[in-house]
Amino acid sequence: MRGHLDRRTFLRGTAGAAAGAVVAQAGLGADLLTAAGKSRPRPVRGARFRQGVAAGEPAPHAITLWTKLEDVERRGTLRLEVARDPGFDRVVDRRTLTAGERSDFAVKTRVRDLDPAERYWYRFEAGDRSSPVGTFKTPPPPNSNMPVRIGVFSCQDWVSGYYTAHAGIAAEQELDLIVCLGDYIYERVFYERGVRPDTLGANGDGEVQTLREYRAKYALYHSDSNLRAVRQSAPLMAIWDDHEVEDNYAADLPGDATKDARVRFLRRRRHAYRAYFEHMPFSAAGHRERDRFRIYRSLRLGRHAELMLLDQRQYRDDQPCGDALGIPPCPPAVLNDPSRTFLGKRQKRWLKRRLRASDATWKLIGNQAMAMSLDIPGGNPLNMDQWDGYAAERGEILGTLGADGVANVSFLTGDIHTFFAGDVSPTGRQNILGRPGAVATEFVAGSMTSLGLPETINGTTGVPLPEDLVVILADAAALRLNNPHMAYSNTKRRGYAVVEATADELDVRFRAPETTRAPASPVSTLKRLVVNAGTPAVEIA
């Protein structure tokens, strides 16, 4: 869309709500639309925008915009403006939207006819109150040679730390996209020595299970100004891991960390999924009933990046060997059982097709759980909850990359609360004894607040680890000695990654505050790492 707001654009915008301008997905938002035969809703009065604003689902000519009203009791209308300038002198879209009870007054709308690689500003108004102003930049078109910059984070446990790293992400310059790789919320309190309280849930222990409780959890997290600043600074896309529902759950099977099961698991999962989509600036990726909670999808970001976001929770088989910590070792026959799946058949086929079809320089896989092996000792996988527990499927997917000539694949990963970088082979390990060598690289972007690997494993299992194992997990050199496919590790710092994709290289910077135990802390670069195009190997810059 170019120039000033013309009559056609204005009429399309103001009539858009009645025609379905608000995105209604995943069973949400049916009452957000102005249905024929119903009285027109009145403007909202007295609403507040405590959870801020957000943008998502970026495309060269479109964006999805989100907000959520509070202190509202009945259905009503609000206004949206999108402009080319922060002062809103050059408005390009103005429309009226409807918020209702079914989605707890969350609102999403798809704005189209935008220009690629351009910055816009937006705000919502309800009565005499305005929301914070958000901003986004549309992605460049697929033939653009512009570099692409992506902020990557995961695992932001409220209790464990302050969101000092979020202030760093919000201050990063010219991010095209921010990606959360899971554990956006934590469904209960896992660590006793936290820095701020979470007393939600029926028992006051932070554990949420009903739809109302999950909604309250998102409101708690969004009460943090640094997280709200991240959401309004650039388009956000996210995938869930386990804590958005229940720790270590697998598809239809509950995890084992629930203290007081007040709601049947499948109902709890439905509550969690619904609350997730209510609070995210994007819709379910599918449009059929069976896809109403589908999150896996791909986003094209110019010539140099295609991001393929995965779902490694909703379709997986149960973790092998009771999700044990590799002690005693899980039998290889179990780990390499080809009948077991991590992604599910449909998602696996989709991923293979996208990898083969993509002509982007870099194929980036948004990945909840680590693809590289985590061995202690060498050859013995420690964590059954990651790709190591589904080794046959890992080998199948990665084994096709070389056969199909797919180059420049890199996993961007969360989950394990540790900075890792290294090379990925079909076995997850270094090339030994004639095994295939590396076909991809991986960058694990630490955690925003959630405690490091030793504390996490102890906290989630409730079983103290052997002292020598804790030493290895806490020591970067010892970890890499057991895992020579890793080029870098840091178990002690919290933070995020900034990934820049160009024609020649993938540049990754691990960034971290000095501490997350204080409300404010300066952010600096821990390590800069590079992958040269055509060579699946991580180099320390």
Q: Which of 137, 161, 194 is the last residue of a domain?
A: 137
Pair (67, 165) in one structural domain: no
Residue 252 lies in a domain: no
Confidence check: pLDDT of 4 > 80:
no
What is the per-residue pLDDT across 150-183, written as a single tens digit (0 to 9) for each?
Answer: 999 999 999 999 999 999 999 998 999 999 999 9
154 and 55 inside one domain: no
List the CATH number of the domain containing 21: 2.60.40.380
Which pLDDT score, from 0 to 100, does residue 376 have? Answer: 87
Per-residue pLDDT tens for 226-253? 999 999 999 999 999 999 999 999 999 9
Identify the helix (H) or strand (E) that includes residue 145.
Answer: none
Reported as type and span, the H/E element at residue 231 is helix 225-233
Same domain, 446 and 522: yes
pLDDT of 32 reads 39
Classify strands 106-111 and 440-445 as parallel, antiparallel or unpaired: unpaired
Angle of helix 225-233 relative to helix 164-171, nearest 10 degrees?
20
**DSSP H or E segment with residue 216:** helix 211-221
Mean pLDDT of 394-410: 94
Q: Is 436 within the bounds of a domain?
A: yes
**Residue 289 — very low, low, confident or very high, per pLDDT cuts 50/70/90?**
confident
- Which residue segment(s) compose the domain that 49 sits in? 7-137
DSSP-assigned beta bridge partners for residue 442? 411, 422
Quick check: 340 pLDDT over 80? Answer: yes
Tell me the C-alpha distance between 28 and 392, whole Å. 37
Tens of pLDDT, residues 410-460: 999 999 999 999 999 999 998 655 456 899 999 999 999 999 877 766 655
What is the reported pTM? 0.91
| Angle ∠(14,18,21) on CA atoms, nearest 5 | 75
Q: Rounded distance, CA 396 to CA 414, Å?
A: 22
More confident residue, 482 or 531: 531
Say if residue 169 is in the same domain as residue 133: no
DSSP per position, 405-465: T---EEEEE-SSSSEEEEEE-TTSS---TT-----EEEEEE--SSS--HHHHHHHHH-SPP
Q: Could you give the C-alpha distances from 285 to 106, 142, 288, in angstroms and in order?
A: 18, 20, 10
- Greater pLDDT, 281 or 256: 281
Q: How far apart are CA 299 and CA 508, in angstroms?
A: 19
- Residues 62, 168, single domain; the answer is no
The CATH number of residue 434's host domain is 3.60.21.70
CA 505/CA 361 separation, integer angstroms: 9
Residues 6+ apart with CB under 8 A from 412: 150, 152, 179, 181, 364, 365, 366, 367, 442, 443, 445, 497, 499
